[in-house]
Amino acid sequence: MNTLKRYQLIATYRYNITCAENDFTFRLEIYQHDNEFKGIVFQTEFYALSPAFPLEGCKQPAIAHEETEIRDHFFAEHDLIADSEQQVIKLFEEQITQQFLIAPHNTNKETI
């Protein structure tokens, strides 16, 4: 028989990581179903858009700088399942620390 699990979004955190070359921004969403907690990670991507066609009387067309948040599959959903919100946060912070080889205190976390 098919089952349906409903997860409730209980917390959202934004992490800013500063590296020598770039800055990275991640969003960690934590969901709960009964006593199961899971995290889903998104990374903020920045890009620039310029017109694909010439504009009359415009020597240098304006470039629109945009951003979007894309699910980061480096952080597998099945790796961020735990028994509490704090355990999910700990798992994510351990993975991000290993990925960027940073000390945990260099990660800025902000609750949204």
Q: 108 vs 10, 16, 62, 74, CA distance in Å?
A: 20, 5, 33, 20
Query: Model's pTM, two decimal places?
Result: 0.75
Least confident of 49-63, 67-81, 90-104: 49-63
| pLDDT tens digits, one per residue of 13-40 | 999 988 877 888 999 999 999 999 999 9
- Give phi and psi for 54, each to the nearest 5: -70, 145
Check residues 95 and 49 and name the one with the higher pLDDT. Answer: 95
- Give dist(CA 73, CA 14) in Å, integer: 17
